[in-house]
Amino acid sequence: MHVDIIPNRNSRPAILLRESWRENDKVMKRTVANISNWPPEQVTALRRVLKNEPLVSPSEVFSIERSLPHGHVEALLEMIRLIGLDKMIAARRTRERDLVLAMIVERLIAPSSKLATTRLWHSTTLAQLLNVEDADEDELYAAMDWLLERQPVLEKRFASRHLGEGQHVFYDVSNSSYEGHCCPLARLGHDKQGRRGKPIITYGVLTDVKGRPIAVEVYPGNTGDPSTVADQVEKLKERFALQRVVLVGDRGTLTQTQIDILKTHPGIGWISALRSENIRKLAANNHLQLSLFDEKNLAEITSADFPDERLIACFNPLLCDERRRKRQELLDATENKLQKIVDEVHRRTKTPLSASEIGQKVGKVINGYKMAKHFELSIADGEFSFKRKAESIAQEAELDGIYVIRTSESRQNLSAEDTVRSYKNLAKVEQVFRTFKSIDLQVRPIYHYYAERVRAHIFLCLLVYYVEWHMRQALAPLLFDDEELAQDRKERDPIKPAVSSKSAKKKKSTKTNKEGFPVHSFRSLIMELGTRSRNRCRLKSAPGSPVISQDTEPTPLQTRAMELIRLYPVDGS
């Protein structure tokens, strides 16, 4: 008997168990059974039995000495190779480059301290693939110092790849808490996460129009956002050799002082926004009126206070409602605290509170919610009363939902709608900061003693985000991310709130994509890829035999993820 495989033109082949014999000069065959529906491994086993070959279970031949997660390491290293980050860091493979790449991949898998990194990357195939199994934390610190020396070169390479003459460059500033008191960069300042009592470190990030990080600069924690702008101008003009760019920053960074400085640099344009006091002044001078928005939610206005600038006034009714609701809540909260002081003053009849004592109590609460400007206070010995300033509240309410974008760009270069869109694209820089501080990268807490090590740590996180940005673009069909967002941002009403596309809503409701695969967050997809393992096997019959590595078969989801990465179109614009 033997197994015969009969090919079919339009369907899978037929697998038949047959016996054969010879009659005279003819070979005769008879089909004993049709085994086409058997699993392939059973068919293979039957063929070996019919050939009198011994059957041995793989577990009797091989021993699996160790199994390490491998799929996520493979995917991340493949993306690094595709986007050419390894060659950008150093053209030739070196020990330092391998250590830097290993730190980048490990931070995307399990962000941790440098000491923990040298432990954790042995729990995957990362250390083995990059040949850094013997590295300790001192080598990682030395590799960080080596990387910091290459930061100017790397940033210039990013700029030459992703920036061009006349393009918009986005800039914003954030900070992170520091654990300890040794680093000279760690200073007490305004922590943007609202933490108090801990020193912080400030850093500013430049990105291109798509949100890819280009450069980062680290400053002492007490550095104001506006004072960092001059360094970015120098970087754009001198280091990146760009003659014509448009710098986009928020109103807290591109202040009037900084804009006056930008005007002295030919070729540097800007897009920013006016502060609330400037908007109130425009309204007081009748340059800004609600009637401007009767037919359209944006309007261009002019003012002698802002010569050679275009001002685009925008009105968002949803933002208007939100600000009125929030103001009412803050007024009520402030009023509740003041009422408690009134009640306390009334209770103190035997030993009345003096005016100074009442003033101290009031001073601690009156501006806790930034509402002091809307209350009129009356303080005397043993007496305290307050009331709301209705006129002040009404004047502020008139400007609810109104904001004004300012730019140096002409109408020929940039329409009013595109100006607003560009300003709102600052959200892409804010996405960098959110990722830095989330479970994805965990830039904080920062422990490094030396200022240069902190700078290297922040720059390393920038490179990590650069890889994650590309990974998110490639794997978007498997993520909850809105795949139509980039195109939608170019076409939608710049004033109205963003609305998810139909495909994104469907993914969120069904938890599956159009191919039927379950959709993931970036973190859970990385962990899913990591379930594909690499097994280290050895022959049981020969204890000293060479090690055999064998990867587990990928799941359909893992196969699709690797297809998306390998098909990812890498461009430089």
SS3 450: coil
> Rounded mean pLDDT of 91-108?
93
For 54-97, where are the E strands, in sequence order? 62-69
> Rounded mean pLDDT of 81-87?
93
> Rounded mean pLDDT of 508-534?
91
Q: Each residue of 245-268: pLDDT tens digit? A: 898 888 888 888 888 888 888 888
* Higher-pLDDT residue of 333, 442: 333
Q: Each residue of 463-481: pLDDT tens digit? A: 999 999 999 999 999 998 8
Q: How far apart are CA 484 and CA 495, in angstroms?
A: 18
> Rounded mean pLDDT of 220-238?
86
Cβ partners under 8 Å of residue 247, min gap 6: 169, 171, 229, 232, 233, 236, 254, 262, 268, 269, 270, 271
- How high is the mean pLDDT of the chain? 85
* Higher-pLDDT residue of 13, 557: 557
The CB density around residue 69, as the number of other CB atoms within 10 Å, is: 19
Cβ partners under 8 Å of residue 191, min gap 6: 175, 177, 198, 200
The one-character DSSP state at 519 is P
> 30 pairs with which residues across the strands?
19
By the 10 Å C-beta count (0-12 exposed, 13-18 middle, 19+ buried), 284 is classed as: exposed
Q: Taking 70 as the threshold, does the pLDDT of residue 89 lie above it?
A: yes
> Rounded mean pLDDT of 73-91?
94
As given in the structure block, the two tokens for residue 65 are 């000495």
The continuous run of DSSP H or E covering 20 comes out as strand 14-23
Say if CB 261 and CB 232 are below 8 A apart: no
Flag whether the pTM goes above 0.75.
yes
Say if CB 561 and CB 475 are below 8 A apart: yes
As given in the structure block, the two tokens for residue 144 are 């960080």
* Higher-pLDDT residue of 429, 340: 340
Q: Taking 70 as the threshold, does the pLDDT of residue 17 lie above it?
A: yes
Q: Taking 60 as the threshold, does the pLDDT of residue 439 lie above it?
A: no
Express as a percent the part of the chain with pLDDT over 90: 30
Q: Each residue of 105-152: pLDDT tens digit? A: 998 998 888 888 889 889 999 999 999 999 999 999 999 999 999 999
Q: How far apart are CA 546 and CA 3, in angstroms?
A: 35
> At 166, which amino acid appears?
G
> Rounded mean pLDDT of 279-297?
75
As given in the structure block, the two tokens for residue 441 are 């990268």
Confidence (pLDDT) at 194: 66
- pLDDT category at 496 given cuts 50, 70, 90 is confident
Q: What is the largest CA-CA distance in the chain?
A: 132
Q: Taking 80 as the threshold, does the pLDDT of residue 153 lie above it?
A: yes
- pLDDT category at 438 given cuts 50, 70, 90 is low
Q: How far apart are CA 267 and CA 255, in angstroms?
A: 19
Confidence (pLDDT) at 280: 85
